[in-house]
Chains A and B, each alone.
Chain A
């Protein structure tokens, strides 16, 4: 079974803090994705990566950066957290070309920025 894990289920941070969200997958997938999910808006893609050290902006990259130094790990970084980044963050991974195959999701991190 594919397993995607995220470093925290719940996280509370203060405005201006640098925040790291970590995602690890154990199936040697080429692709990894970061989404945020907000009530009434559905999932929105922040960034994705199709290979180590490779990254592409999604629909809402502003205020975020990512890092993929190892194939199994994809980090989402909030350089200076703001209250409008309070959200549920979901990581996913997949094989093959990005978006062509089933994505496997992690359990999510609910981030609150005070």
Chain B
């Protein structure tokens, strides 16, 4: 079964800390997404990547295709970064395009 595993499930940090959230998947993918969900439910897409590294402000996403692993890093964390971070992948199914499969999310709380 194709699954997406995130770790940790919950993370508490002090303001200013460097944060890493991990995502592992089981078979070949064509793309990986990182999403942010704030309390109240709204979801924002942060990154979509298929190789290498992307950076937006204090957020950095990396992917290692060989290791089937991606990380989301937050530098100089701030309480407003408190949210659930969700990893989602699109698997390759014999060349056809599959649905997005979502991880269960990592709940981040940044304390002032």
Contact = CB atoms under 8 A, between A and B. Distances in A.
A88 B84 CA distance: 15
B105 to A, nearest CB: 6
Contacts of A42: 4, 86, 102-105
Interface size class of B (residues with CB under 8 A): 20 to 34
Contacts of B30: 100
B97 A43 contact: no
Nearest to B100: A99
30 contacts: A40-B104, A42-B103, A42-B105, A43-B88, A43-B100, A44-B102, A45-B100, A48-B99, A59-B99, A88-B41, A92-B43, A97-B97, A98-B97, A99-B97, A99-B98, A100-B31, A101-B48, A102-B45, A102-B48, A103-B45, A103-B100, A104-B45, A105-B42, A105-B43, A105-B44, A106-B42, A107-B40, A107-B42, A108-B42, A108-B43
